[in-house]
Amino acid sequence: KNYKQLAYLYDAPFYFVLTFKISDELIGAAVLGFEITSASFKIIQIQGLGFVKNESNSTDNQVKSMLQSLKWERLLVSFAENWAIKNGFRRAKIQKAKNNAWFVDMEGDDPYYVGRNDRLKMHYDVTAKRSGYKSLNKKWWGKKLTKSKSNDL
């Protein structure tokens, strides 16, 4: 149970959590964190569960396998957009990878930071583009939210 408490770095005040049930235990497999201001819905965290390399941990292996079979980033963004629409928001924003506190501007090619930056770009920038967001500025992707039949939860 301890790894679940330490697995996420909570950067946002509100979350949607994608869970995975193993036996009678719910595992938080991925999170989408957001903040709300008077006029905006901002997605500031898109994070899958981090795993410690442990070949013998079948729970970690099951969750990793489940996440790999889903387009979980877009699933969570779509769910968040539907929630935002139902709560009266007309626009949504996703922060750009370089605007993320965990992105490291660096010189050189430290494999750890290169890998982390690449994951951040996939989670934020690629997900935003594939979800129909357009670049607003150096910090944010933006999208006008519209209700459609597919928005019904």
**Model pLDDT, residue 27:** 75
Express each pLDDT in 89-124 by its tens digit: 999 999 999 888 888 877 667 777 788 888 899 999
Instruction: Return mean pLDDT, the chain.
Output: 82
pLDDT > 90 in the chain, percent: 42
Evaluate if residue 31 carries a pLDDT over 80. yes
Q: Please, which pLDDT band fits residue 7 given cuts at 50, 70 and 90?
A: low
Q: What is the mean pLDDT of residues 35-56?
A: 78
Tell me the H-state helices in 9-152: 58-69, 72-86, 111-120, 127-130
Amino acid residing at 77: V
Rounded to whole angstroms, what are the CA distances from 110 to 26, 63, 113, 120? Answer: 35, 28, 6, 16
Pair of tokens at residue 96: 């750009």
Q: What global pTM score does this model have?
A: 0.81
* pLDDT computed for residue 21 by the predictor: 77
